[in-house]
Amino acid sequence: MELQTHVPLNKAPIPISYESEIVLLGSCFANHIASRLTYFQFRNRLNPFGTLFHPQAITNLILRSIEGRVFRNEDLIYHQEQWHSFEVHSEMSRAKADDLLAGLNNGLQELREFLLNASHLVITLGTAWGYKRKDSGSWVANCHKVPQSEFAKILSTPADIEENLTNALTSVFGINPEIAILFTVSPVRHLKDGFVENQRSKAHLVVAVHQLIEQFSKKKVYYFPSYELMMDELRDYRFYEADMVHPNALAVNYIWEKFSSVCVDNKEHAVMSSVEEIQKGLAHKPFNPLSEAHKAFKSALGEKINDLRQRYPFMKFE
């Protein structure tokens, strides 16, 4: 007896392997994917400018980094005793303008180098609702608690989203023709926008990404259905945090298992099992740290780590 429906999953045309170098950009769900990749010792770089929810915010920073358009003083604002940029998350904000500029421009250089050398770019889209400054008409990635009256709230159309992501992908393929692009829509519900408004937003993102996939080679651009898995296979509030908005650890692990089954090369699953065995061993808290049994356990664990690091020198176990 089947007690749930299952979202059909297609294998990624270019799966992730331990040879891969992965860049992840986008919403907070990108953090969950990156944390699992890190746990299993895949090489990855996450959101050098902090969390980004709207496609335009992601596109702006990709284009800035590739085109070498550095941040300048006129790109900053001073609010609540800190310097900010409307193009990045507030975690980048600093007390001194020079420190913020240095961090932003170092981030641009790093992002360009990551994109130039990466095998995969994972983009997690959060919402189609975005904000424009009323004074300049420019899109913002984060309002930094500036009064909402200074912004216009806009629902981007699928055509608008497709156009700006097309610009981003065209630039990325221009410097790295071999990179594989993996899109997903975050399963986090943006209910502060409203229930119907959240559904409209997610629908616009899904439509835009699939129109984008039809433009580019299906061997290079792939869609993984994180949002659909949450909405269909995990149709129960027990899979949410107490806020009833964010997926809980059980849901994230479930979606990760689905992700790794189709987006990670099958030949790497045995290595992942070895890595997980080591991670669990490192997290083990012995009843008697001085016992001979624990010393033998630590010695055997050290041998396993050394064996993996001989094959994959980039792996680091704490």
Residue 8 lies in a domain: no
Residue 98 lies in a domain: yes
Residue 262's pLDDT is: 98
**Beta partners for residue 132, in sequence order:** 139, 152
Question: 5-57 pLDDT, tens per residue?
Answer: 899 999 999 999 999 999 999 998 999 999 999 999 999 999 999 999 999 99
At residue 284, does pLDDT exceed 90?
no
Task: For residue 77, name the pLDDT band (cuts at 50, 70, 90).
Answer: very high
The distance between the two most distant Cα atoms of the chain, rounded to a whole number of Å, is 70
Question: 190-233 pLDDT, tens per residue?
Answer: 999 999 999 999 999 999 999 999 988 777 999 999 999 999 99
CATH code, domain carrying 135 = 3.40.50.1110
Question: Which own/partner pairs from 99-108 qualify as long-range (CB within 8 Å, at least 24 positions apart)?
Answer: 100/76, 101/71, 101/72, 101/73, 101/76, 104/49, 104/71, 105/70, 105/71, 107/48, 107/49, 107/65, 108/61, 108/64, 108/65, 108/68, 108/69, 108/70, 108/71
Nearest to 54 by CA among 20, 86, 83, 91: 86
Please tell me the distance from the alpha carbon of residue 260 to that of residue 15, in angstroms, as a whole number.
Answer: 9
What are 52's two structure tokens?
């980004």
Residue 285's pLDDT is: 86
Same domain, 283 and 301: yes
Q: Mark which of 264, 282, 299 sits at the end of a domain.
A: 264
What are 270's two structure tokens?
């045995």
Residue 293's pLDDT is: 83
What are 237's two structure tokens?
């509030």
Q: Mark which of 227, 242, 264 sits at the end of a domain.
A: 264
Contact 25, 169 (CB under 8 A): no
The HSE-up count of residue 308 (CA atoms within 13 Å, CB side) is: 24
273 is in which domain, residue-wise?
A: 267-318
Which residues lie below 8 Å from residue 248, measured CB to CB, with a gap of 6+? 239, 240, 241
Residue 2's pLDDT is: 77
Using CB atoms within 10 Å of the CB of residue 267, give its burial: 0 to 12 exposed, 13 to 18 middle, 19+ buried.
Answer: exposed
Same domain, 259 and 278: no
When divided into structural domains, the chain yields a total of 2
Question: 237-280 pLDDT, tens per residue?
Answer: 999 999 999 999 999 999 999 999 999 999 999 999 999 999 99
Q: What mean pLDDT is reported for the chain?
A: 95
Task: For residue 286, name the pLDDT band (cuts at 50, 70, 90).
Answer: confident
Q: 75: which DSSP letter?
A: G
Same domain, 133 and 232: yes
Which residues lie below 8 Å from residue 40, measured CB to CB, with a gap of 6+? 272, 275, 276
Same domain, 271 and 256: no
Same domain, 196 and 143: yes
What are 73's two structure tokens?
């003083």
Residue 6 lies in a domain: no
Residue 219's pLDDT is: 76
